[in-house]
Amino acid sequence: MWKYVKSLEYPINIKKKDLRMAKYLITQYGGSNGELAAAWRYLNQRYTMPDDKGKALLTDIGTEELAHVEMISTMIYQLMKDATIDEIKKAGLEGNYAEHGKALYPTDANGVPFTVTYFATTGDPLADISEDMAAEQKARAVYENLLDLTDDPDVIGPLLFLRQREIIHFTRFKELYEEYEKNVTK
């Protein structure tokens, strides 16, 4: 069904430890506007699309979002690599450490765990695609906020790539919405 290529969509090679940035970045892993929520939203909604074009678009973007989860996970791991307990405490990550050690766990930047209430599906293609466009815009805005919080070029490069993918996904969803608005009735 899919071909798995064992490389990231964008190379990640963060050389400088930054637990503060890792804490912020985790929101794009398990937060309401993050990549995990997007992947599940699109992969769930695809079943009620009225045609193969909509199903294919949601499948393609949903699986790409899983690749973005992998990128975010890699970034967080590299930002936290070899962190000491004191550094973990100083970054405010001791709660995560108490529960999960140094493992990644899907939360937002405030430690709120991932929940499926972050996304919805109505079975109405126009409503669902509207939500998808909004989700892409919110994710773009979060990436822009994250860019404001770092000056590390090794972090900025992947964030810019991911921000651009949100713009492209929004554009593809908008095209599908406009087509469905003309041609699909409920």
Residue 4 has what pLDDT? 75
So where are the chain's domains?
A: 19-183
pLDDT at 3 over 80: no
* Straight-line distance from the first to the last Cα atom of the chain, in angstroms, rounded to the nearest whole number: 30
- Of the pLDDT bands very low, low, confident and very high (cuts 50, 70, 90), residue 6 is confident
Pick the more confident residue, 185 or 60: 60
Give the tens place of pLDDT for each residue, 104-144.
999 999 999 999 999 889 999 999 999 999 999 999 999 99
Cβ(72)–Cβ(64) under 8 Å?
A: no
Return the CATH fold of 19-183: Ferritin (1.20.1260)
- Cα–Cα distances (Å) from 24 to 43, 107, 109, 125, 160, in that order, read 26, 10, 5, 33, 16
At 122, which amino acid appears?
T
Percent of the chain with pLDDT over 70: 98
Q: What's the whole-model pTM score?
A: 0.94
Q: Which residues of 57-85 are buried (b: 16+ CB within 10 A; e: fewer)?
A: bbbebbebbbbbbebbbbbbebbbeebee
> Rounded to 10 degrees, what is the CA torsion of 15, 105, 31, 66?
70
Give the tens place of pLDDT for each residue, 19-59.
999 999 999 999 999 999 999 999 999 999 999 999 999 99
